[in-house]
Every structure is written in structure tokens, then in C-alpha cells.
Structure 1
Amino acid sequence: NLIATIILALYLSLGFLNHGVAMHRLQRWTTAQQLQPLVMGAIPVPLSPLHQRGVVITQEQVYDIPLSLFTPRFNAMHTYPSPFREDPYIQKAWQTPEGQIFRWFARFPLATHTQNSPLHRIVLHDLRFETPQESLGWLGRWVARLIEAHDPELLDRKVFVLEIVLNQDGKFQQARFVH
């Protein structure tokens, strides 16, 4: 029991250290880039205790940044349009009761808008529930390959994805979770 307790304490300490380092790096990066984040945070990466994902959301962009405890540079950064951008259909989707509940729950939301005339499809999802392979590190990628050998679609599954359909006038038509 003592050894297990020590291992758990070391693992948790590593997690706290890694999170603190990731947040410090994100803060320095946003300052250097002269960004004004609306939301900023670090997410632990499953299967890889030495890695975090930094997420910075500004009015214009979302930055999804893989971070390693031992590598100070930012590799393989992904950018997405901000879910809070000036798109009238996305704004209307956020105003629906379903959109408001999703917004309340989602820590790092993304929103995409596609038009299938005459309907507008707004897809809302949260970056917390996605794990890009490049954010895993070598150990995480190795474990992911083992998992994919048993379930090839596991890491590509989308969870907690809400689709809101609006008509051409922006009136609510339907909301549903998709996978």
C-alpha cells in the first residue's frame, strides 16, 4: 500500500507540475503574440502524463497547442475560427436553449456553420473531447496504436457534438446530438 501511495503521489505531483508549466507557457505565448484570450486553459492528454493541450480562444481564433513538459516549443498548432465570431447563424445557435446549455457545459467550444440550402447547420463541439494524435507524445501514440488495433474507430469518435439546424431566416428547426 505504501508503494502504491507513493506512486500515486508522484503521478499527481507530475500532473500538477505539468499543468502549471503548460499554463505558464500559454500565458507567456499569449502575451508575446499580443492576444487577448477570452478563454485559456490546459487539458491533460489521455495516455500521456507528460503532455498537455493548451487551448486559447480569442474573438477571432481558437489555438489548440500540444505541449510537452520537456519541450518548450509549440509544435503542430491547430487553429480554428472562434466560436464567438460574427456569424449571425452561429450567434442564433448559441441563443437557442440547447445552445445555451451546451455553452454552459463546454469549456473549449468550437462552432462550424455549413449551409444546405435553405437550411443552416451549426455544429458545436468541445475540444476537451477530442485528442489529436500529435498531442499524445511517443508513449501516447504507442498506446493509441495498441488501442486502435482492437477498435480502429475509437480515437476518431466524436462525442458531445451538438447539431443545431436553423432555417434561412435563422429560426430554430432542430437540435440533436450526433456521433
Structure 2
Amino acid sequence: MPVVHSFDPPDRFVTGTVGEPGQRTFFLQAREGTRVVSVALEKQQVAVLVERLDELLDELMQVPGNETTVPAMAPFDLRDTDPLDQPLVEEFRAGTMALSWDPVAELVVLEVFPVDAGAPDDDTESMEADEVLLVRMGAGLARAFCARSTQVLEAGRPDCPFCAQPVDPEGHLCVRANGFRRRGP
């Protein structure tokens, strides 16, 4: 029987980082009362999650007859700029994530499975995981999550205007400049 870290809905659900740009570790963190669960993941996973979540919310806004209020932007009262809750204890490293909409409860549902969970079984289409992070949240909190996550993603190293690779403070070898070292801003 897997351990399910369920938040329905969370008091707080955010993306955050630990470390310096270029060496950051990304986390999803959910909190309900005093219970906090932190899951490590890759920067690219955060970017894809934000993209898909924004797409899902935008599609919901376009559904004819949809009674659910889906904000176009993050509601001001749900914006969260606080640091990650401490102590920061990694429950597991995220692998597969599943995103859906529960039309009855009118909630976004996010399931995060560990890296070692494997692929869905062809017969059951379910994951074999020891742990799962399950977050069910309203559309406003989902928009606020996307807004904060975008800020976290943009707070890293700047991209080279020529090759779009991250530029360290000491510069980088730009493939578009035939190997000449370009300096950071």
C-alpha cells in the first residue's frame, strides 16, 4: 500500500529552490496546517508543469457553459512570495506527474510519483509507487502556483542571447561564437 501525501486542498502549494543559480535544487512544497511535504524535481519539470497547468486553466475558461470561475491571472490575495517552509525534508524525487480536472469538485488534481515508480501498467494504467503526492486545488491557487513558479524559474542564470544556454557569472563557451568565451551580464 503506497503512502499518499494528500492535500485536499492545501493551505499552501508552491515551487521553491535551495542553492545558488546554476546549482539550485527545485522543490514542490505542499502544506496543510503543520504538515509539510517537499518533493524535489528538475527545473524542466517545473517549466512543463507550469505550461500544462496554464493550458488546462486556459482551456477551462473557453468551455461553453462552464460555471467554474477560472481567473485569467493569479488572484492578488493568493500570491505567495515567502520562502519554503522549514525544515526542508525531501520526501522523494519527482518522476512522472499527472494533471487533471475534477469537474464535480471543480478542482485541479496533481499527482506526483517518484522517479522509481516505473511506467503505468498496460492493463491497469496505474503506477506502482511507494509514495505519491496528491494535491487538489482550486483554479485560483493553481494560477498563483503558476505565477510563483514562473518567477522562480526566471530567477536563475540569464540566458545567452546568441545560443540560449545559461550564462554563469564567469561566462560560458558559446557555441554560436565559435568557442569564444562570452561574459555574463
Q: TM-score, structure 2 length as denominator? A: 0.26
More helix per residue: 1 or 2?
1
Q: Which structure is richer in relative contact order (CA contacts within 8 A, separation 6 or more)?
A: 2
